[in-house]
Amino acid sequence: MAKIRVYELARELNLKNKALLEKLSELDIVVSSHMSSLEEDAVNRVKAHLRGKKPGAVEHKRIKPTVIRRRKKRHVEGKAPKETEPATEVEAPVEPTPPVVDVPEPVPETATEPIEETAAAAPPTPETDVEAEPPRPAAEEETTAPAPEETEKAAEMPEKKEDAIQPPAEASQPAPAPEEPAAEETPLPTEADAVVEHPAAEAETPSPSLPEEGDGADADADADADSDQKSKKKKKKKKKKKEPTDMPAKIISLPPKVEEEPSPPDRGDDKSQRRPAVSERTPVTAGGVEAKTPAETSTSEEDADKKKKKENRWAKKKISFKKKEVIEGDALYSKARNRKGKKGAKAKSVQTQKTQITTPKAIKRRVKIDETIVLSDLAKRMGIKANEMIKKLMMLGVMVTVNQTIDFDTAALVASEFDYEVEKARFEEDAVLNIDSEDDAGKQVGRSPVVTIMGHVDHGKTSLLDVIRKTRITEIEAGGITQHIGAYSVATNRGQITFLDTPGHEAFTSMRARGATVTDIVVLVVAADDGVMPQTVEAINHSRAAGVPIIVAINKMDKAGADPDRVMRELADHGLMSEEWGGDTIFVKVSAKQNQGIDELLEMILLQAEVLELTANPERHARGYVVESKLDSGRGPVATVLIQEGTLHAGDPIVCGIHHGKIRAMLNDRGAQVDEAGPSMPVEILGLSGVPNAGDEMVALDDDKSAKQVSEHRLQKHRSLELAKTSRVSLEKLFERMQEGEVKDLNIILKADVHGSIEALSDSLTKLSNEEVTIRIIHAATGTVSESDISLAAVSNAIIIGFNVRPSAKVQAMATEEHVDMRFYNIIYNVIKDVKDAIVGMMESTFEERVLGMAETREVFFVPKVGAIAGCYVTSGSIKRGQRIRLVRDGVIIHEGKISSLKRFKDDAKEVQSGYECGIGIEGYNDIKVGDIIECYYLEEIKPELR
Ligand SMILES: Nc1nc2c(ncn2[C@@H]2O[C@H](COP(=O)(O)OP(=O)(O)OP(=O)(O)O)[C@@H](O)[C@H]2O)c(=O)[nH]1
C-alpha cells in the first residue's frame, strides 16, 4: 500500500482533517499538516484506533467525483451515542459496535434512504439475531446500487424526507417487522415528494433532526468530512427552496388537496373565487390528503391556492392555445367571414388571394370566335395563360406569338387541347344588310345588259368601245395601252348598254375574270388579220367559266389582210361556231377604224340581252360591285360602281368592302352628277371612308350606324386575316425552308394611281418569281408614295414602284436619306423589264472551270523559308501566277490549291507558255514529287439569265 496523505485518509474515514490530525497526535503519529503523508502502518494504526473507538463508522465510497455513498455499519450491541453522531439523523441510532448488519433492509436496497430509515426505526432486538452475518461486501453494494443519478438524488433526499415526515411521535412508534417498513414506506415517497415541493410545509413542519443536521456537526466523525460536499448540498437545498414554482407539472399532479379543501373564508380574493370551477375539473385525485397533519393541511391549503392560480393560468393558456387552433386553416376564413368590420374585410382579402383553379362548366367551355382570333384574346377568353397556349401550339407544330392571329381551325385545335369548344361567331351581317329579306316579287323590271369587251392585245377593244361611245379614250392612254377597267353606258335606239372595257393584255387576266362575273354578255374582239391569239382563247375560257354568252366581233375588217373565215374557223376549233355555220354564236364583222358594223353589233347585244331576259328590282336597296377605285387628290376615295340591283340614291349610307360612308356625290360615266343610279348603271361614287378594292361589293343600308357596324366588323376580320397570313408559319414549313437554304425575297411596295394598275402589276410581277428569287408585294395601294411607305421599305428592305404617281419633295428626300430605292413608271412593260433585271442581278452566278494549261514536274527543289518548288515543263496551254492548280499524281488528285510563285529561272513570271520550263511554288503545300502533273485552271463566272 502506498503512502497516503492525511487529508485523503480523513476523507476515506469520513473525518475532518482537523479531527484526524487530533487522532494522529493522540496516537503519536507526527504529521505537520493535512498534506503530510502517512505510512501504511500509521494508517492501520489510525484505522484500528478509530475502529476500536467507533466501529460503526459510516462506510464511505466515492461513486462519482461529486457523490459519496455512505453506508452505516451498524453494530448489534450497544446504542448509537447520539451525541457522537449528530451530523445525520440516520446515523443516530446506529450502534458503534461491529459487525455491520444489512439484513433488515432487503427491500430498500434500491435506494439508500429506505435503508437508512429502516435502520433508524429498527429495534435492537432483531439485530442480535443477525449479528453473525457478515457485512455486506462492497461489491454487492455496488451491484445493487442505483444509477448514479438516483444515487445522487438519494444522497440528498434523506435529509428532506426526514425533515418532513419524521415527527417526534413517529420515533416512538414500535418498530415494525423488517418487511413492514418497506411496505409502509411505499406510499411515503409520493407524499414526501408532495410536501417537499412546498417550502412552506417544509418550514412549518417541526423537524427534530434539523438542529443535529446543521452546522453543529463539525465535531462528528460521521458528519460531512468534506466541507465542499456539504456546501454543495446546502446550495442545492437553497436552490430547491427558491424554485418551487419551477415545477408546475408536479403541482398539477396533486389536485386532491385543492379539491378537498373548501375555499377558505379568509381568502376572498378574486382568484380564490374561481377555485370551484377549477377544482371541479380535477375530482379524481381526492383522498390523498386525509393522513396529513394540520400543519400539512394548512400548507397544502396555501399550496392548493397557489396551484389554483397556476391552474387558472394554465387553463387560460390552454384556452388561448385552443383559440389559436380554432383560427387555423380553413376555419380561419370561415370565421373571418363572420366577423364584421375591418377584420372581416381583411380576412376576405386574404381569402381572395387564394386563387383556386376550377374547371368551368361544359356550357362555359365554349368560345365564340370569328374566322380568326388573336392568340392572347383566345387565351383570355378561355382563362388560360397565353404561354400555355403557345406551348401547346408549338407541340402541335404551329409557331405563334402572343399577339399573332390564329385562324378558326387552329383555334379549334388548340382549344380542344384544353377541353374547350370553339364556335364560329357569325356576325349577322346578312341580317344587317337585309340582302335577301326584301321581296322582289312583282317588282322586277327589265334592265340593260352589262357587256365586257375582251380580246387579245391590240385587236382593237378600246377603239371599238371608243367608236361606240363616240369618244377617243385611246389618245390619252399612256403607251397606247388601256390600264384599267372602265365602265361606260351607251344609249342606243333600243335601250342602254353598259360596257366594261377590260384590257386584253395578259397582265389583266384577273381583272377580266372579275369583270366577267358582273357581266351579262362578253364581246370577244378578234382582229380579222391576226386571228385567234392566246388571250383570245383565255377570254373564251373565262367567259365560259362565268356562263356568260359570247358575241364575236371580227375587227379590222377594213384591213387588207382581213380573213374573217379564218377567224371563224379558228374560233370554231375552240367551240364557238357561228350561226352561219350552224352554230349558236353570233359573229359580227366590224371595223372600229371605219365605224363599220357597230350598229349591228349593238343590235346583236340587245338581242342577246332579250334572250337572257335580264331583270332587276329597282325599288330595293342598291347593291353592286366596284369595278374601279382610286384616291383622288381633290375628291378623296372614288369608286366606280356598277349597280346590279336596286337604286342607289345620293345620301344613301353604304358599305363598300371594309369601308363605309354616305353617298356624297354620284357621277355618271361622262362625269355628270346624278342623284340616283338604277340597275346596270355605272357611277362614280364619292363619300367613302377609304379606297375600296375592285370587285368589292357595295351595299346601301338604312342608316349610318349599321353601315359603320358592318364596316368595322369587316375591318376587324380583314386585319385578322392579314395577320394570319403572316403568322401562319408552321414548324414543317420552317424546316422546309431551312432545308432549302436561304430564300431570297425581292420585296416590292406598289403605289399606283388606280387599283386596276395595282392588280395588273402585282399579277405580272409575282409571276416573275422563280426557284431562286421570290417576288413579294408587301404593300400595294392607290395614291402617291407616302412617308410611311418609305419607312416600311426601309425596315423590310423593299423597293418602291410608283405607277402613274410622283412623290413629293419631302418623300424624295426621305427616300434618299433612308437609301430606299424608289422607281416611277407609266408603262407596265418597263416595270416588268426592270424587275426582271433586278431578279437576274439577285440570282447567283454559276462558275465553270476553264483549264489554262498543264505542267509536268521534273525536279523538286527545296528553298529555305519558301518550301518545295516544282521544276516543271509546261506541256500544254500556259501556267499563270495566282491561278488555281490541281496536283495530279498517277491520275489521282492529290491536292488543290493556288500557285504561290511562278519563276522562269530566277525571275518572277506572270505566265509561262507551253514548251518552257518554270519553277512553280504551291501555296501551303510542299509534298511535291517528280512526275506530278500540275493542272492550272480558273473558274469562269456564268451570269444567270431569266428564261
Ligand atoms: N385598220 C384598223 N386599225 C384598227 C382598228 N381598230 C383598232 N385599230 C388599231 O389597232 C391598234 C390597237 O387598238 P386598241 O384599241 O388600242 O387595241 P386594244 O385591244 O384596246 O389594246 P389594249 O388596250 O392594249 O388591249 C390601234 O393602233 C388602232 O388604231 C380597225 O378596225 N382597223
**3-class DSSP string for 408-424:** HHHHHHHHHHCCCEEEE
**Residues tagged in the binding site annotation for GTP:** 455-462, 501-505, 555-558
DSSP 14: T
Ligand 1 neighbourhood includes 762 CB (under 6 angstroms): no
Ligand 1 neighbourhood includes 45 CB (under 6 angstroms): no
Ligand 1 neighbourhood includes 505 CB (under 6 angstroms): yes
Cα(367) to ligand 1 centroid in Å equals 59
Q: Are 800 and 772 in contact (CB under 8 A)?
A: no
Same domain, 466 and 579: yes
Residue 245's pLDDT is 44
User: Which among 17, 33, 50 is the end of a domain?
Assistant: 50
Residue 556's pLDDT is 92
Same domain, 816 and 863: no
Cα(460) to ligand 1 centroid in Å equals 3
Residue at grid coordinates 407616302: 786
User: Atom of ligand 1 at shortest distance to CA of 480?
Assistant: 16
Cα(515) to ligand 1 centroid in Å equals 21
Cis peptide before 99 (omega within 30 of 0): yes
Same domain, 611 and 632: no
User: Which among 425, 457, 489 is the end of a domain?
Assistant: 425
Residue 428's pLDDT is 65
Ligand 1 pocket: which of 458, 473, 535, 757 to mutate (most atoms <8 Å of CB)? 458
User: Atom of ligand 1 at shortest distance to CA of 457?
Assistant: 25
Nearest to 462 by CA among 496, 494, 485, 491: 485
Ligand 1 neighbourhood includes 455 CB (under 6 angstroms): yes
Same domain, 861 and 850: yes
Phi then psi for residue 269, to 5 deg, are -70, 165
Give the three-class secondary structure for 890. Answer: coil
**Residues tagged in the binding site annotation:** 455-462, 501-505, 555-558
Tell me which residue has its CA closest to atom 12 in ligand 1. 458
Same domain, 531 and 660: no
Ligand 1 neighbourhood includes 461 CB (under 6 angstroms): yes
Cα(593) to ligand 1 centroid in Å equals 8
Q: Are strands 550-555 and 521-527 parallel, antiparallel or unpaired?
A: parallel
Residue 422's pLDDT is 85
- Residue 922: inside a domain: yes
Q: How far apart are CA 154 and CA 674, in angstroms?
A: 129
Same domain, 496 and 461: yes
Ligand 1 neighbourhood includes 503 CB (under 6 angstroms): yes
Same domain, 469 and 578: yes
CB-based burial, 388-416: b 16+ in 10 Å, e otherwise? ebbebbeeeebebeeebbbbbebbbbbbe
Q: How far apart are CA 45 and CA 38, in angstroms?
A: 11
Same domain, 459 and 588: yes
User: Which among 676, 705, 725 is the end of a domain?
Assistant: 725
- Residue 472: inside a domain: yes
User: What are the per-10-residue average pLDDT scores of the chain (947 residues)?
Assistant: 79 83 83 82 83 58 72 52 41 41 40 40 40 41 41 42 40 40 39 39 39 40 47 50 45 44 42 40 38 47 66 59 49 49 48 62 74 84 88 84 82 87 73 63 83 84 81 44 58 80 47 59 90 81 77 92 89 88 89 88 90 87 84 86 89 90 86 86 89 83 85 78 48 43 70 86 85 79 82 76 86 82 85 77 74 93 88 93 90 89 89 92 91 91 68
Q: Are 210 and 2 in contact (CB under 8 A)?
A: no
Same domain, 625 and 714: yes
Ligand 1 neighbourhood includes 456 CB (under 6 angstroms): no
Ligand 1 neighbourhood includes 593 CB (under 6 angstroms): yes
Ligand 1 neighbourhood includes 591 CB (under 6 angstroms): yes
Residue 935's pLDDT is 93
Same domain, 889 and 913: yes
Cα(750) to ligand 1 centroid in Å equals 29
Number of domains present in the structure of the chain: 6
Ligand 1 neighbourhood includes 486 CB (under 6 angstroms): no
Ligand 1 neighbourhood includes 474 CB (under 6 angstroms): yes
Residue 242's pLDDT is 46
User: Atom of ligand 1 at shortest distance to CA of 557?
Assistant: 31
DSSP 753: S
Residue 280's pLDDT is 39
Cα(461) to ligand 1 centroid in Å equals 6
Same domain, 707 and 794: no
Residue 190's pLDDT is 39
- Residue 550: inside a domain: yes
| Radius of gyration of the CA atoms of the chain, in A | 63
Residue 752: give the domain boundaries. Answer: 733-841
What pTM did the predictor assign?
Answer: 0.42
Ligand 1 pocket: which of 457, 463, 509, 535 to mutate (most atoms <8 Å of CB)? 463
